[in-house]
Amino acid sequence: MKQNKKTVDDLVDWIDENGNLLGVVTRSRAHLKGLLHRLSVIYLLNNKKQILIQVRAKDSKWDHSVGGHVDAGEDHKESAVREMEEELGIKNLKIIELEESVIEYPIQGRKDQSHHFFKIYVGFGQPGEINPLEVKDVFWADPYQLAAKMKKDLDHIQFTPGIKTTISTFLKYLKQNQKSE
């Protein structure tokens, strides 16, 4: 498994709301200045319609199954595939793109501002070897119960702001696919 060598000084593409490249900046500068940059998110789903929740190593917050910044010159899908391998040891998993959206929110306890161009994916499978530098733990959970719990987490104590802003997209996907079964 790859070791996590990412830092806040990794380069990311600074883009406009249409995805057009404006420049290349460090991730820390993108956050400090609130510059729009890309992020990939993957919800991993099992056959019981549960999602895999990641407990982050750095702050123990509950987060997407997999997520991460898109490196400069990389596209969302390449980033999603790379992050799945880096964080959960998952290789060659087919993922489906659900939606893309621009989301802005403050970073708790800092002056930084997250301004992300999210692409949200879903995949079906199991985690492999977990990278302890990025992931403290993982567990399967009912997405509807999680969404209800998120509504009570107003100060982002238990959940990351990212998962709280993208869960509705995943729930919409789940409802649409339950109707077709």
Q: What is the pTM of this model?
A: 0.86
Average pLDDT score over residue span 36-57: 96
Contact between residue 98 and residue 122 where contact means Cβ atoms under 8 Å apart: yes
Is the residue at 106 inside a domain? yes
Tokens of 167: 């869960």
pLDDT tens-digit map of 141-181: 999 999 999 999 887 789 998 899 899 999 999 999 876 55
Domain count for the chain, please give it. 1
Is the residue at 17 inside a domain? yes
Containing domain of residue 162, as a range?
11-179
Is the residue at 56 inside a domain? yes
pLDDT tens-digit map of 27-39: 989 988 889 999 9
Q: What CATH number should be reported for the domain holding residue 71?
A: 3.90.79.10
- Over the Cα atoms of the chain, what is R_g? 16
Is the residue at 2 inside a domain? no
What pLDDT does 5 receive? Answer: 56
